[in-house]
Chain A
Amino acid sequence: MAKSTPHIPTSLSAIQGYGLAVLSFAAALGGAVLLERFHFRDVEVPLFLFSVALSAWYGGTGPAILALVLSCVGFDFFFVQPLYTLYITRDDLPYFLVFAAFASLVTWFSTVRRRVERELGTRTAELEAVNKELEAFAYSVSHDLRAPLRHMAGFTQLLQRSSESVLNEKSQRYVKMILESANRMGVLIDDLLSFSRIGRAETHKSLFSLDQLMQEVLTEVRQETEGRNISWKVARLPSLYGDRSMLRLALVNLISNAMKFTRTRSQAEIEVGYTDQQDKVIVFVRDNGVGFDMKYVDKLFGVFQRLHPSEAFEGTGIGLATVQRIVLRHGGRVWGEGQVDKGATFYISLSKSQGV
């Protein structure tokens, strides 16, 4: 018992631990003697082992050693020939040693297991504290960072309005750039906040039809495809177990990306399909868009990481990071393959059943 933590209610004080050792030994001994009266044979060893394990589990190493010593003495005295002496014959010695060794092993296992449990308790508490801090941080970002930004944007706009006739072209351009930057920062903060919210929100998992969800997503994003020539190839997807609204967001991001990066194509092709793997489904979204260099594959899922200049393709670079976070929260995996100018494919692996 290296550390005592208040998180485990079964923790005993030292006196209680040693008391437990003595009591459990007495109970084991009494039980064994009683059972022997009724001609049950060889029950004493498991009973003594049980008392040692019990002492190790609830009391720790000290009580376990006490129980072990008591068990050895009791075993020798009551159950080893010659009975009712502490004398050990040479023939019985190996049997005795094996018992002692086995009991020590049980003690050791229990102690290790106990320590791991304790550490887990401490870690969980630490993690919860850190999480709470993070939440407070995100909250303050949401409140306090947005206000000055709104003022910057607001007063710049008022300046623009009141001094339009006075400012020369160059100055007007500067004012415009201040505005653009302030607005962009607003979008970045919002994106970062919703991203952090995905990490903090609880998942509400249920069994649902991925196919139906995909149809919803497609209906939503297709509203933006007017005037575009996109050929869709969408497979019928299976049902799976997960947080529907989170996965919806992931799919929206993947499909929007496919649409965005095929914009330069006269004939865009977007394919959605899946492969079945025992308990997993791997869903993929493939496009014939501008693709990416596999050299940068590690950077795809970074927050605010972009692989294309913002003049070519808009966006803050939070989409794939969001997808990754959602998939990770489902115990799945996400990865991408691509080739410059030949298109990209993004895969997400998701568990079909509840056991995640």
Chain B
Amino acid sequence: MSILGRILMVEDDPKDVELSLTALEEYNLANEVVVARDGEEALDYLYKRGKFADRLNGNPAVLLLDLKLPKINGLEVLQRVRADEKLMMIPVVVLTSSHEEKDMVASYKLGVNAYVVKPVEFHQFVNAIKELGVFWAVINQPPPGSIRKN
């Protein structure tokens, strides 16, 4: 599944990953997802390093980014993406548990495209994930250089 990967989901919590994938399955979008378990893996994917060295070229259509991550946190990933000319156009959606204003402000200052607080209620959570997946992977026109659906 890691070949196509139009959605790069950066999420350290396996349960959140499973719930999100379950939600995306309903629109057959689960196959489009690559999961990175921390900030470092996310950057490895983007730069085609480490275990992602053999992946196809191209940027993901969207980066779903948790803020609290092991090793390199979400804001740092966002900062590095925005600072790199090859990556800066990737749409980034922060997907977090945090309602905190300072996280939100910091994310927007770093140029995030959307900030979504994960709802506790499952239906809402599923809907939020589905809508995000459909919007960014299907409806939105990704910037040039993104992986295209065949």
Residues in chain A within 8 A of chain B (CB atoms): 139, 142-144, 146-147, 149-151, 153-158, 179, 182-183, 186, 189-190, 193
Choose one: A139, A146, A155, A156; the contact of B120 (CB below 8 Å).
Answer: A146
Assess the B122–A153 pair: CB atoms within 8 A.
yes
Assess the A155–B15 pair: CB atoms within 8 A.
yes
Assess the B19–A150 pair: CB atoms within 8 A.
yes
B2 within 8 A of partner (CB)? no
Known: A147-B13, A151-B16. A183 touches B97 (CB 8 A): no
B121 within 8 A of partner (CB)? yes
Known: A143-B68, A155-B15. A183 touches B120 (CB 8 A): yes
Assess the B19–A147 pair: CB atoms within 8 A.
no
Residues in chain B within 8 A of chain A (CB atoms): 13, 15-16, 19, 22, 68, 96-100, 118-123, 125
B119 CB to closest chain A CB (Å) equals: 8
A/B interface sample: 29 pairs, CB < 8 A: A139-B98, A142-B98, A142-B100, A143-B68, A143-B97, A143-B98, A149-B120, A150-B16, A150-B19, A150-B119, A150-B120, A151-B13, A151-B15, A151-B19, A153-B121, A153-B125, A154-B15, A154-B19, A154-B122, A154-B125, A155-B15, A158-B19, A158-B22, A158-B122, A182-B120, A183-B120, A186-B120, A189-B120, A190-B120
Q: Which residues of A contact B13 (CB under 8 A)?
A: 147, 151
A177 CB to closest chain B CB (Å) equals: 15
B17 CB to closest chain A CB (Å) equals: 11
How far apart are the CA atoms of A153 and B125 in the complex, in Å?
A: 10
Q: Which residues of A contact B120 (CB under 8 A)?
A: 146, 149-150, 153, 182-183, 186, 189-190
How far apart are the CA atoms of A156 and B15 in the complex, in Å?
A: 12
Task: Name the residue on A nearest B102 (C-beta).
Answer: A139
Assess the B121–A146 pair: CB atoms within 8 A.
no
Known: A147-B16, A150-B16. A157 touches B97 (CB 8 A): no
Q: Which residues of B contact A182 (CB under 8 A)?
A: 120
Point out which of A139, A153, A155, A189 has the most chain B C-beta atoms below 10 A from its C-beta: A153
Assess the A139–B100 pair: CB atoms within 8 A.
yes
How far apart are the CA atoms of A183 and B120 in the complex, in Å?
A: 7
How far apart are the CA atoms of A142 and B15 in the complex, in Å?
A: 18
Pairs A-B, 5 closest by C-beta atoms: A186-B120, A157-B122, A151-B15, A154-B19, A146-B97
Q: Is the interface of B mostly helix, strand, loop or mixed?
A: loop
Assess the B19–A142 pair: CB atoms within 8 A.
no
B68 CB to closest chain A CB (Å) equals: 6
Task: Name the residue on A nearest B13 (C-beta).
Answer: A147
Q: Which residues of A contact B16 (CB under 8 A)?
A: 147, 150-151
User: Assuming A142-B97, A143-B68, A158-B122, what are 10 further A-B pairs, CB within 8 angstroms?
Assistant: A139-B98, A139-B100, A142-B98, A143-B97, A147-B15, A150-B120, A151-B15, A151-B19, A154-B15, A183-B121
B106 CB to closest chain A CB (Å) equals: 13
How far apart are the CA atoms of A193 and B103 in the complex, in Å?
A: 15
How far apart are the CA atoms of A153 and B123 in the complex, in Å?
A: 9
How far apart are the CA atoms of A154 and B118 in the complex, in Å?
A: 12
How far apart are the CA atoms of A142 and B96 in the complex, in Å?
A: 10
How far apart are the CA atoms of A157 and B13 in the complex, in Å?
A: 19
Assess the B123–A190 pair: CB atoms within 8 A.
no
Task: Name the residue on A nearest B119 (C-beta).
Answer: A150
How far apart are the CA atoms of A147 and B66 in the complex, in Å?
A: 12
How far apart are the CA atoms of A144 and B67 in the complex, in Å?
A: 12
Known: A147-B13, A151-B16. A142 touches B121 (CB 8 A): no
Q: Which residues of B contact A193 (CB under 8 A)?
A: 99
Known: A150-B120, A186-B121. A155 touches B98 (CB 8 A): no
Q: Which residues of B contact A190 (CB under 8 A)?
A: 99, 120
How far apart are the CA atoms of A158 and B18 in the complex, in Å?
A: 11
Q: Which residues of A contact B19 (CB under 8 A)?
A: 150-151, 154-155, 158
How far apart are the CA atoms of A191 and B98 in the complex, in Å?
A: 14
Task: Name the residue on B nearest A148 (C-beta).
Answer: B15
B12 CB to closest chain A CB (Å) equals: 10
B69 CB to closest chain A CB (Å) equals: 12
Q: Which residues of A contact B123 (CB under 8 A)?
A: 157
B38 CB to closest chain A CB (Å) equals: 16
B123 CB to closest chain A CB (Å) equals: 7
How far apart are the CA atoms of A150 and B96 in the complex, in Å?
A: 12
How far apart are the CA atoms of A257 and B118 in the complex, in Å?
A: 29
B117 CB to closest chain A CB (Å) equals: 9
Q: Which residues of B contact A179 (CB under 8 A)?
A: 122
Assess the B118–A150 pair: CB atoms within 8 A.
yes
